[in-house]
């Protein structure tokens, strides 16, 4: 036993003082000590000569020794590896690093952020809702009668597993979800993705994005709606842009309107974008229908409100001169890279 311990002490001294100056010497060290015919294996073999009462202690000492050799090997390997890379690539640590490629925001994101930030300045908070929605939040609560054409299978994607579920066809579902929270007043802007079962072409897609707005309080009037939207248009399209409201119909608002702005491409002269009319339609809006308020347990005698909804793709296409809506969802880096410095 004592012999064994002495031998190990000797080996340890030898190993501690060993230095390797290159990879080859490290490999020689490994073969000598840790190889299949190496010294560690050999000295482990001496266990069989140890008397039973010393076996436990000897086992411990031998295991510690093996660990000692392995650590030394790791240390040698690490130091020659790092010497190697430092030498071979002649690293100059004072050189500046390579430029990292800069990502870009998606043009739909850019347009959404622009729209949202204008309303945030008016005190609107941002809310989001689910894209997989139930019939109540997407249709029924919004005063869409059961046989309304917008519920037709051709417009709406239904979820096969449950006939009550669908992919929301507009962001108006978030209006309902916010009103149901029973916290008034509400002043919210709600961006998100929507889905419609439409043939995909350069002008329309089966999914796109909208921003919904909702303001509910006592004494909210159509004048408030107009003033809010005027502010938005001036911030978005500039001071010289003209605005007009046309009477329209939406089941969830009464009265309802659509808002046009004078064409910001041709200035109202008539061009392809405005189809020679001089006007571009940008949103639908109106006073929230009393039925919608009641559906969400809000007293229509006490509270009134306005709502509006606009698409994001079309204004983005106009602003950035994009002529095919499919480009937004093709993930072509050559397209996306062009927006690196856009705002």
- Quick check: 171 and 212 in contact, CB under 8 A? yes
**Judged by CB under 6 A, does residue 172 bind ligand DAH?**
yes
**Which string of x and - marks every residue 215-254 that binds ligand DAH (by CB under 6 A)?**
-----------------------------------x--x-
Nearer to ligand DAH, 225 or 274 (CB): 225
Smallest distance from ligand DAH to CB 285, Å: 5
Q: Is residue 305 close enough to count as binding ligand DAH by CB under 6 A? A: no
308 binds ligand DAH (CB under 6 A): yes
Can you state the angle between helices 55-88 and 2-16, rounded to 10 degrees? Answer: 10
Among 107, 191, 192, 309, binds ligand DAH (CB under 6 A): 309
Between residues 107 and 309, which has the closer beta carbon with respect to ligand DAH?
309
Give the nearer residue to ligand DAH in terms of CB position, either 156 or 253.
Answer: 253
Binding ligand DAH (rule: CB under 6 A), the pick from 274, 296, 307, 312 is 307
d(CA 87, CA 65): 33
Residue 223 Cβ, how far from ligand DAH at the closest point, in Å? 16
Encoding tokens for residue 15?
């190993």
Report how far residue 108's alpha carbon sits from residue 209's, in angstroms, rounded to the nearest whole number.
8
33 lies in the site for ligand DAH, by CB under 6 A: no
Instruction: Please answer whether residues 222 and 306 qualify as being in contact, where contact means their C-beta atoms are separated by less than 8 angstroms.
Output: yes
Short-list 84, 80, 69, CA closest to 32? 69
Q: What percentage of the chain's residues is helix, strand, coil (to nearest 5)?
A: 45, 20, 35
Q: By C-beta, is 72 or 209 nearer to ligand DAH?
A: 209
Q: What is the rounded distance in angstroms from the CA atom of residue 4 to the CA atom of residue 54?
A: 11
Which DSSP helix (H) or strand (E) runs through 209?
Answer: strand 207-217
Of the candidate spans 130-138, 265-273, 301-309, 334-342, the one that interacts with ligand DAH by CB under 6 A turns out to be: 301-309
Would you count residue 195 as binding ligand DAH (CB under 6 A)?
no
166 counts as binding ligand DAH under rule CB under 6 A: no
Residues 243-258: b if buried by 16+ CB within 10 A, e if exposed: bebeeeebbbbeebbb
For ligand DAH, what does the binding mask look like between residues 271 and 290, x meaning CB under 6 A?
A: -------------xxx----
Our CB check for ligand DAH shows the closer of 303 and 308 to be 308
Minimal distance, residue 189 CB to ligand DAH, in Å: 11
| Bridge partners (DSSP) listed for residue 108 | none
Q: Give 98's contacts (C-beta < 8 A, 6+ positions apart).
A: none
Chain contacts with ligand DAH (rule: CB under 6 A): 170, 172, 212, 250, 253, 284-286, 307-309
């Amino acid at each position: 036993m004592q012999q064994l311990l002495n031998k190990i002490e000797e080996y340890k001294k030898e190993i501690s003082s060993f230095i390797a100056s290159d990879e080859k010497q490290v490999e020689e060290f490994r073969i000598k000590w840790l190889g299949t015919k190496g010294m560690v294996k050999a000295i482990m073999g001496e266990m069989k000569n140890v008397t039973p009462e010393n076996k436990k202690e000897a086992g411990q000492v031998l295991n510690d020794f093996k660990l000692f050799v392995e650590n030394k090997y790791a240390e040698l390997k690490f130091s020659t590896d790092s010497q190697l890379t430092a030498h071979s690539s002649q690293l100059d640590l004072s050189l500046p690093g390579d430029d990292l490629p800069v990502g870009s925001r998606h043009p739909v994101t850019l347009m959404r952020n622009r729209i949202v930030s204008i309303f945030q300045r008016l005190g609107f908070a941002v809310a989001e809702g689910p894209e997989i929605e139930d019939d109540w939040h997407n249709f029924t609560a919004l005063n869409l009668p059961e046989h309304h054409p917008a519920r037709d299978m051709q417009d709406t994607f239904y979820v096969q597993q449950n006939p009550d579920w669908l992919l929301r066809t507009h962001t108006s579902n978030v209006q309902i979800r916010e009103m149901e929270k029973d916290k008034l007043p509400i002043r919210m802007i709600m961006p998100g993705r929507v889905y419609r079962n439409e043939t995909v072409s350069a002008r329309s897609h089966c999914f796109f994005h909208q921003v919904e707005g909702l303001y509910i309080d006592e004494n909210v009037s159509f004048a408030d709606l107009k003033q809010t939207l005027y502010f938005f248009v001036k911030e978005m399209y500039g001071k010289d842009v003209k605005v007009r409201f046309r009477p329209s119909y939406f089941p969830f608002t009464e009265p309802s309107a659509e808002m046009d702005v004078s064409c910001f491409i041709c200035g109202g002269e008539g061009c392809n974008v405005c189809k020679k009319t001089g006007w571009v339609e940008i949103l639908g809006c109106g006073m929230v229908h009393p039925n919608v308020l009641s559906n969400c347990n809000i007293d229509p005698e006490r509270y009134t409100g306005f709502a509006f909804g606009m698409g994001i793709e079309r204004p983005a296409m106009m602003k950035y001169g994009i002529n095919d809506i499919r480009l937004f969802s093709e993930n072509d880096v050559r397209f996306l890279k062009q927006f690196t410095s856009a705002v």
